[in-house]
Structure 1
Amino acid sequence: MHIHSYSDLINAARAQPEPQRLLFVFARAELPDGATEDQRLLFEQGEGGALAPVLCVDKTPQEAANFQTLIDESARTGMSWDVAFVSTMNGRGGIAPNSDEAEKPLRLMTEQIQAGIVSQFIAIDRRGNLLQLA
């Protein structure tokens, strides 16, 4: 199944043989310390910078069925973000993973994003558009 939208992601998670838990790490674009003037100019134009994780959450596909719900929930935290990274966890024996089981994978996701290792995650902007990040 090809994922072209947030709805496709939710449908793919629901279609898996085992129940899924979705892992979200929200990140903000920041200008790295020691940035050059050229880097600053690019950043002001919406390009470049570094992604810094600011918030993470785990949800079942049912809890995260609507992307606007995630945006509204994140707004209540007061944390601004630019990109949401998404991964999944498989359940076992027909039972979805719980939030306690999601804690370590979320921590690992956060560390990978901080290191710039993001190709294995689905990236979504605030408008719900899927992104291709290099």
Structure 2
Amino acid sequence: MSEERMPGEFAKLVEAAKQQEQPQRLLMLFARAEGNKKKKANASHQTGTVTPLMCVDKLPEELESFEALIKEADIIASDWSFVLIGGLGGVDGEAPPTEAAEPYLNQMANDLMMGQDLSGYTILDRQQSPVLLQVR
């Protein structure tokens, strides 16, 4: 008997982007987390620093799977820990061009580096598990 696999968070996100009224461009910022050396009693809460590594923007139709995205990202930098994902909506039935994504990708990197609110982004680790980042 084959076991039906639930769609991952990334697949759900891509599908939601495809369902929007206006075409979307997905914005992705790959970042590296470096934890502090101190051991905490509660291992589910870690502290450390986060460094943006690289950005990419893609139309939902250009994204085959999370595994394919990982392979593509690892060619450029394999030391990333998680990816922040946001969306940019189009106008009049046209998806935003890749040039329109640059200021938003820069904003994502600035938000991360400056410890701003990241609740507007979906954040996934390399296993596609949701990540919650909090500023201290």
- In structure 1, C-alpha distance between the alignment counterparts of 2:104 and 2:72, rounded to whole Å: 21
Kindly indicate whether the alpha-carbon contact (under 8 Å) linking 1:19 and 1:96 is maintained by their aligned counterparts in 2: yes
Gap runs ≥5 in structure 2: 1-7
- In structure 1, C-alpha distance between the alignment counterparts of 2:68 and 2:19, rounded to whole Å: 21
Deviations 1:36-91 (A, max 9, x none): xxx42249x78211111001000011112411111001111134100100000000
- Could you tell me which amino acid in structure 2 is paired with residue 126 of structure 1? R
- In structure 1, C-alpha distance between the alignment counterparts of 2:57 and 2:120, rounded to whole Å: 17
Kindly tell me: are residues 29 and 42 of structure 1, through their superposed partners in 2, closer, same or farther at Cα, counting changes over 3 Å? farther
What CA RMSD, in Å, does the superposition of the two structures yield over aligned residues?
A: 1.9
- Could you tell me which amino acid in structure 1 is paired with residue 14 of structure 2? I
Kindly indicate whether the alpha-carbon contact (under 8 Å) linking 1:7 and 1:65 is maintained by their aligned counterparts in 2: no
- In structure 1, C-alpha distance between the alignment counterparts of 2:84 and 2:63, rounded to whole Å: 14
Identity %: 33
Greater helix content = 1
Kindly indicate whether the alpha-carbon contact (under 8 Å) linking 1:10 and 1:61 is maintained by their aligned counterparts in 2: yes
Q: TM-score, length-normalised on structure 1?
A: 0.84
Number of aligned residues: 123
Kindly tell me: are residues 133 and 78 of structure 1, through their superposed partners in 2, closer, same or farther at Cα, counting changes over 3 Å? closer
Partner of 2:63: 64
